[in-house]
Structure 1
């Protein structure tokens, strides 16, 4: 019985991706699942952090913060992209204060010390500098 329940849960895991920026009930269900349960939808969940003003961003970020040590590759992909500097801003704001990943740390330091033009325009470098200073990273 337990195996059937797990299989059903995993079969419907995409149902845990919020449908719109106000879909709080779906986002709040994430806390019932482990990283292993949701790992295939992590990129989809991270998309809800593109604008932290969306209501769904807070519960999604709280869940992702709880598993931040397991999503380093996904976070790094966002931080190294040249597509959405506002998303980088929010990723640094949310995960910068808590990350233990040396790779994420180094990318935040890179943004703080050698930002791209677009990172400067969107003030991603400023939020990165704040994290670097607050955490005494060199």
Structure 2
């Protein structure tokens, strides 16, 4: 059994941790999904993009951890979550985030407006509506 906590990056420069995370795969990394998403909170961090590249392949298991980010208070993290992860998720997975995205698009707080979250969420919803079969 893998101690998933040991897989977490040690710093924003720890790209060497990514192959071990990928090799462990899902469901071994399930207990640390929230913490892994924290390492994608800023797309300028070297670890963020390669980690996001892997995480988007997980699909449905990302819905709840991403939902927690979207319901949170960190506008910058929401922005990077949308641009690094949400925009790349399959339509069926986006469906699980539709309510959270609609809330951000229609009722953003001041921090969300400042970060452009309402615009980003609206664009993702438009993409979802175009490609979602009723």
TM-score (norm 2): 0.85
- How many matched pairs? 128
Distance 2:53 2:9 in 1: 14
5+ residue gaps in structure 2? none
| Alignment RMSD | 1.8
SS in 1 for 2:97: helix
Correspondent of 2:102 among 89, 104, 109: 109
SS at match of 1:53: coil
Distance in structure 2 (CA, Å) of the matches to 1:119 and 1:79: 10
Q: Which runs of 5+ in 1 are unaligned?
A: 1-6
Pairing partner for 1:92 from 82, 90, 93: 82
Native 8 Å contact 1:96 1:108 kept in 2: no
1: distance between equivalents of 2:57 and 2:88? 13
2: CA distance, partners of 1:40 / 1:133: 32
SS in 1 for 2:5: helix
2:126 counterpart of 1:129: no
Which of these two proteins has the greater Rg computed from alpha carbons?
A: 1
Structure 2 distance, partners of 1:68, 1:51, is 21
Conserved 8 A contact 1:21-1:54: yes
Question: TM-score with structure 1 length normalisation?
Answer: 0.83
